[in-house]
Amino acid sequence: MKTGMIAMAEEYIYGKNPVLEALQSGRMVKEVLVSKQLNKQTEREIFRAVKRAKSVMKHVPVERLDRLVKGNHQGIVAVVASYTYVSVQHLLNVAKERDERPFLLILDELEDPHNLGAILRTADAAGVHGIIIPKRRAVGLTDTVAKTSAGAIEHVPVARVTNIVQTMKQLKEQDLWIVGTDGESTEDYRQLDGDIALAIVIGNEGRGLSRLTKETCDWLVHIPMLGSITSLNASVAASILMYEVFRKRNVLGE
């Protein structure tokens, strides 16, 4: 290694669709390891993607893949550079490049990687420009998140910030409205104005929004529920809210 160069950390992506998404997105893929028992049709599909990405494909015993990752790898594991985070300004630039009003998601200390993966998948489908997560006490971009996102992790930029509340205040200064979710709010989420620049805040799976985060929101909305359970899964709640904004921006017209 040349003097001054920094070694790039590596991670694993596994499963057919996540690996294909990584190869097609232009992300740095060092090599793709495939099981010697992989069916020929899938092997050819992976090989074509590897060739286009100018990467390398190697055949290995399935036992090696079992040692590398936990979960259903489907006989395919890619060795990739660690996921990189972007700045909050980058997320706003994405909206500007698309000539759209900013639509962001802020996750307040979300801990479950499966929730983050599911949220990324819906965010990609609903046109969210990016997601903001805190550096501490929250899940980051991991291989489990990548697997759960079904490849969406390659398309939805994520900013990691030191202070969520401070970031919310900075977004307000750039004319974004901050909408939090709170079961005690009297305002129905269907009253959301999708025709504005906004960021939706989703709280922790168990505690919900922290006090300061809640106080910093411009307004709070709730999702009506008829059953005995008092709250929805974080990724489900996020999906409902994202698609309400999507509906108003794309179905009702702008």
Q: Using 50, 70 and 90 to split pLDDT, how confident is the model at 197?
A: very high
Residue type (1 letter), 218: D
For residue range 234-246, what is the model confidence (pLDDT) as tens digits?
999 999 999 999 9
Which pLDDT band holds residue 71 (cuts at 50, 70, 90)? confident
Verify that 228 and 114 share a domain, yes or no: yes
Choose the final residue of a domain: 34, 55, 81: 81
Domain assignment present for 213 = yes
Q: Given this model, what pLDDT does residue 20 score?
A: 92
pLDDT tier at 78, thresholds 50, 70, 90:
very high
155 & 244 share domain: yes
- Relative orientation angle of helices 164-173 and 88-97, to the nearest 10 degrees: 40
Q: Is residue 173 part of a domain?
A: yes
**In the predicted structure, residue 2 carries a pLDDT above the cut 60:** no
Q: pLDDT per residue over 23-53, tens digit each?
A: 988 778 889 999 988 999 999 999 999 999 9
Q: Which of 81, 102, 137 is the last residue of a domain?
A: 81
Mean pLDDT, all residues of the chain: 88
Q: Are residues 240 and 202 in the same domain?
A: yes
Q: Return the C-alpha torsion angle 132, 121, 31, 144, nearest 10.
A: 80
Residue 232: domain span:
88-251
Q: Are residues 32 and 143 in the same domain?
A: no
241, 138: one domain: yes
Whether pLDDT at 8 is above 50: no
How would residue 221 be classed by pLDDT, with cut points 50, 70 and 90?
very high
Judge whether 205 and 234 are in contact, CB under 8 Å.
yes
Answer positive or negative: Cα dihedral of 177, 119, 240, 238: negative
- For residue 240, the number of C-alpha atoms closer than 13 Å in the C-beta half-sphere is 17
Which of 29, 48, 81 delimits the end of a domain?
81
What pLDDT does 252 receive? 52
Question: Is residue 34 domain-shared with residue 93, that is, in the same domain?
Answer: no
- Residue 109 is assigned to a structural domain of this protein: yes
Whether 74 has a pLDDT exceeding 70, the answer reads yes
Q: Is residue 246 part of a domain?
A: yes
Let me know whether 149 and 242 are in one domain: yes
Is 4 inside a domain boundary? no
In this structure, the answer to whether residues 145 and 71 fall within a common structural domain is no
Q: Which residues pair with 131 in a beta bridge?
A: 105, 158
On the question of pLDDT at 76 being above 50, the answer is: yes
Q: Is residue 166 part of a domain?
A: yes
Q: Who wins on pLDDT, 104 or 193? A: 104
| Confidence (pLDDT) at 183 | 74
Shared domain for 139 and 69, answered yes or no, is no
Average pLDDT rounded to a whole number, residues 60-66: 93
245 and 151 share a domain? yes
Q: Residue 211: inside a domain, yes or no?
A: yes
The answer on pLDDT for 15 being more than 70 is yes
Answer yes or no: is 106 within a domain: yes
Residue 7 has pLDDT above 70, yes or no: no
Instruction: From 26, 160, 195, select the one nearest 90 (Cα to Cα).
Output: 160
- Band the pLDDT of 75: cuts 50, 70, 90: very high
Q: In this structure, what CATH number is given to the domain that contains residue 21?
A: 3.30.1330.30
- Whether residues 94 and 75 fall in one domain: no
CATH of the domain at 120: 3.40.1280.10
Residues 152 and 51 in one domain: no
Q: Please check the confidence at residue 89 and state whether its pLDDT lies above 90.
A: yes
- Overall number of domains in the chain: 2
